[in-house]
Chains A and B, each alone.
Chain A
């Protein structure tokens, strides 16, 4: 499968638990983006990473959220102590290069429900 792979596709967590969302970029892509989409709202940028580097995290909430893209393995978006407002679709996207002019492709998304 050559596409952007995300898992889990659906995740249910109780308030206060941790959520970990994983993203494997397309083959040959070294740039990963995470976006969040609340119900009936648009896509909001969260973070942009390259291997072992966070390039832009201006869209990440200051607390409880973190992201990484290690040298080996998938990118991870981690949400600690989840609250109901974290319920959303989280989309990962990848591109071969970071600069504008390179299209980015989205994974199928991970739907987080906090109960």
Chain B
């Protein structure tokens, strides 16, 4: 059973600080990794994707991938109250099925 694991939280971070979200996955052969943001009652919204080891930055967001450790993370710099949401890690396993973790609920404290 291919799995994606996330700490469900809640994770509370002061406004302006860095929020760090973590995810591990079970299949060493996985090649594609995604972070989605989901507000309550809304659909998932793609934030970032990463395919190669290392860091990928997009504005206040940085995705980090370490395939040897089967670990992917998302850093949110200068956290804003509007960043309060559930963050979903997703991995494309070889069978072409995008599998999601259960999500980490993030709360930014003003």
Query: Are B88 and A101 neighbours in the complex by a CB distance under 8 Å?
Result: no
A100 and B46 in contact (CB under 8 A), knowing A41-B102, A48-B97?
A: no
B7 contacts chain A at the CB level, 8 A cutoff = no
Within B35-77, which residues are at the interface with A (CB < 8 Å)? 36, 42-46, 49, 51
Asked whether A42 lies within 8 Å of B102 as measured between CB atoms, the reply is: yes
Total number of A-B contacts with CB less than 8 angstroms? Answer: 58
Residues of A within 8 A of B100 (CB): 35, 42-45
Query: Contact: B98 with A91, CB < 8 Å?
Result: no
Contact-residue bracket for chain B: 20 to 34
Chain A residue total in the interface (Cβ 8 A): 25
Q: Which residues of B contact A (CB under 8 A)?
A: 30-32, 34, 36, 42-46, 49, 51, 88, 92-103
Contact between A109 and B97, CB atoms less than 8 A apart: no
Q: Which of B32, B45, B101, B103 contacts A106 (CB 8 A)?
A: B45
The contact of B103 among A42, A48, A104, A109, by CB within 8 Å, is: A42
The answer to whether the Cβ of A99 comes within 8 Å of any Cβ in the partner chain is yes
**Which chain A residues have a beta carbon within 8 Å of chain B's beta carbons?**
33, 35, 41-45, 48, 55-56, 58-59, 91, 93, 98-101, 103-109
A43 near B88 with CB under 8 A, answer yes
A111 to chain B, nearest CB (A): 8
Q: How far is the CB of B5 from chain A (nearest CB, A)?
A: 11
A sample of 15 cross-chain residue pairs with beta-carbon separation below 8 angstroms, ordered by A number, consists of A41-B102, A42-B101, A45-B97, A45-B98, A48-B96, A55-B96, A91-B44, A100-B30, A100-B92, A100-B96, A101-B31, A101-B51, A101-B92, A105-B46, A109-B43
* Chain B, residue nearest A111 (CB): B41
